Structure 1
Amino acid sequence: MRSHIHIFDLAADSARTLFTAEAHVEAPNWHPGGDRLLVNADGRIWTLPLDAPALQPVDTGFATACNNDHGPSPDGRTLAISDKTETGKSCIYTLPLAGGAPARLTPDVPSYFHGWAPDGRTIAYCALRDGAFDIFTMPAAGGGETRLTRDLGHCDGPDYTPDGAWIWFNADKPGHAQLYRVPAAGGAPERMTRDARVNWFPHPSPDGRQVLYLSYPPGTEGHPGGLEVELRLMPATGGEPRTLLQLFGGQGTINVPCWAPDSRHFAFASYERDA
């Protein structure tokens, strides 16, 4: 498996390849400091400096079966990860961003981290509860979880708007995955896309103006890898999206928040077909 990590420049309307690996590297986050990325590979979390791109391991203690749902806190001090080493199913932990011992957050599993509130006090995640995947929040310091969705089918990919007022996510209630947003304080979800394509993993830009998301061909089930997909951008208030590029990817391309702090760039992963 050959993986490529790219950076898209909105002003230039083009992408450049930052890093290529003969391994499955996925789910790039942008470090809050702006000088590096965080990625997942081989069950571990790695940093990828922009000026000298090479994978550098993050010490996650016993957690060596991390999936691609991870992300740094807005202040750059804490890393949230999703790992199944301890429980056999995905569980959310936090640890120092520089590395250290994970502290468990979610008593119940499976739970998959996806986003930090802008003030760093709350996380958003999807979790299987009562036979359904729904969207939840929880204090980043630990505590009870708050359920934000019900009866929308499979929900996934929650990510906060920069003002903390809304959480965007995808749900397949209409029969295939579409984008929604829900008030972070709780309330009625609002559907934001209405098309035949299968839309996943919405990420509001840090300036609050746009939402980036992954768009699969009609008829796609779930969020698999190894497909021709599109990265699309739409106004944060809703409206017609535009396709930024087409690529071979899917799972791992933009599972987690991937915008640069300047809102002018974002990171994503693509892959090469097996020969």
Structure 2
Amino acid sequence: MPPHADLCGRFGAGVAMSRMYALRVLYLAVAMMLLTAHLSAIAASPIRQLTSSTATNVRPAWSPDGKSIAFQSNRDGPYHIYLMNSDGSNLRQLTNGDNDDRHPNWSPDGKTIAVDTGDQVKREITLIDVGSKNRTQVTRLGMTAQFPSFSPDGKTIAFYLYNLGTMDLWTVGRDGSNAAAVTRQLATEANNQCTFACHSAGWSPDGTRVAFSDGDNARVLLMAALTGGTATPISPDDEKSHFPVFLADGRIVYVTEHVTANQSYTDLWVVDPNDMSAVRTELAQNVQAQGPFEFNKDGSELLFFSPRTGNFEIYSVTLDAAGKAALAEKAAISTGFGVTRTPVTPQTSVLPFQVTPELVVLGVLALLAITLELTVWIYRRRRAA
């Protein structure tokens, strides 16, 4: 054997080994680049996913100061109320027990959350102290009382009462006094009540009026909060309108759903109830998100829940141009009411990438693998030298 043969063999093997590890490092580097691109897409997406679990997470509600969000989840069996920060951090459970707690609504001072508690037949309005978690039952009607909504002064609660095939809007004092119906046969058994009536009534900022949906005609109505009387329609008769919410400036945001033989789509509208002669403003169109929506005080940001990733999760979005476009980006999504919405016009935006536990693990493993490969490669190079 020539004297240089062993050296050449070692050199050739070293080159081959170097190439092999270089290719591995290259593959892992590409994987990390793709991961980084995905994470960048998350940061840039106008829609922010706030919950992530195998459970159903729905009905988000802003705290009065905008720092916390209450929502209901069945992650431990029955539906219970959970709290989290506005960015989805600091998740904690507020209620527990064998009965469902649903449809959280904050008191104006942020110290209490009203819910409806019970089973599928009998539900009562209950108050939960946010600090102590103590419970106080408000109604004792023995029927289905649900969807509570605090008045702006915190002294009165509006809610829906279902009994003997009819659903109506009621009010009751915070202490349980003066429970009375505001409407008569708002929705009947023949109508799909949960599509149009199953959402907390919206109080005007001064507490004198409430906005709600008419189950018979699918219109948004406005009437005196405590005395009832004649309801004034504020949405067109030829549209299915529901989920009205008052903004801090007194305007009302509501949802319309347009259904044809081939498609359906949803729009968000803003109207001034004090000037019905004014033209209503379209806030967002072709919205592919689960209603009802919860707006912050100035109407610039909203919360919604949607099954766009498989499970019902809670999202927030800022209502700028990018946010409005992102709301319409999913080609079709279940409304939860037996209707699948499809945009009227083709959408070109891409569904925002979502962080999952699997992706986080993949990123960590890829980083560790790159570090290990580089360490081994450097070690072998030094030995070969």
TM range (shorter): 0.7 to 0.9
The answer to whether the 8 Å contact 2:222/2:233 transfers is: yes
Relative to 1, partners in 2 of residues 1:188 and 1:156: Cα closer, same or farther, differing over 3 Å? farther
The structure richer in helix per residue is 2
| CA drift at 1:120 | 0.2
- Partner Cα distance (2:284, 2:148) in 1: 23
The answer to whether the 8 Å contact 2:220/2:235 transfers is: yes
- Aligned pair partner of 1:119 in 122, 136, 153: 153
Which amino acid counterpart does residue 64 of structure 2 have in structure 1?
A: P
Structure 1 vs Structure 2: percent identity of aligned residues?
20
Residue 96 of structure 1 corresponds to 129
The answer to whether the 8 Å contact 1:228/1:249 transfers is: no
List gaps (5 residues or longer) in structure 2.
1-44, 189-196, 312-385
Residue 188 of structure 1 corresponds to 230
Residue 206 of structure 1 corresponds to 248
Which amino acid counterpart does residue 113 of structure 2 have in structure 1?
A: L
SS of 1:112's partner is strand
SS of 2:187's partner is coil
| CA drift at 1:105 | 1.3
SS of 1:267's partner is strand
The answer to whether the 8 Å contact 1:211/1:234 transfers is: yes
Which amino acid counterpart does residue 271 of structure 2 have in structure 1?
A: P
- Partner Cα distance (2:90, 2:106) in 1: 19
SS of 1:173's partner is coil
Rg comparison, structure with higher value: 2
Residue 33 of structure 1 corresponds to 65
Which amino acid counterpart does residue 205 of structure 2 have in structure 1?
A: P
Q: Does 1:110 align with 2:144?
A: yes
Two-structure CA RMSD over aligned residues (Å): 2.8
Relative to 1, partners in 2 of residues 1:26 and 1:201: Cα closer, same or farther, differing over 3 Å? same
| CA drift at 1:99 | 4.6
Residue 93 of structure 2 corresponds to 57
The answer to whether the 8 Å contact 2:151/2:203 transfers is: yes
| CA drift at 1:231 | 4.8
What are the within-5 Å matches in structure 2 for residues 1-275 of structure 1? 15-22=46-53, 23-42=55-74, 43-51=79-87, 53-58=89-94, 60-62=95-97, 64-67=99-102, 69-84=103-118, 88-108=121-141, 109-129=143-163, 131-154=165-188, 155-157=197-199, 158-174=201-217, 177-186=218-227, 187-208=229-250, 210-218=251-259, 230-237=266-273, 238=276, 239-250=279-290, 253-254=291-292, 258-272=294-308
- Partner Cα distance (1:41, 1:219) in 2: 33
Relative to 1, partners in 2 of residues 1:128 and 1:164: Cα closer, same or farther, differing over 3 Å? same
Asked which structure has the greater RCO (Cα within 8 Å, sep 6+), the reply is 1
Relative to 1, partners in 2 of residues 1:156 and 1:41: Cα closer, same or farther, differing over 3 Å? closer
SS of 1:189's partner is strand
SS of 1:268's partner is strand
User: C-alpha offsets along residues 58-110 of structure 1, whole Å, 9 cap, x if unaligned?
Assistant: 1x25364123x22110011111011215x853221002023523211121220
- Partner Cα distance (2:306, 2:112) in 1: 27
The structure richer in strand per residue is 1
| CA drift at 1:233 | 2.5
List gaps (5 residues or longer) in structure 1.
1-13, 221-226
Q: TM-score, normalised by structure 1?
A: 0.78
The answer to whether the 8 Å contact 1:198/1:215 transfers is: yes
Tell me the number of residue pairs that the alignment of Structure 1 and Structure 2 aligns. 246
| CA drift at 1:117 | 0.6
The answer to whether the 8 Å contact 1:248/1:271 transfers is: no
| CA drift at 1:228 | 6.3
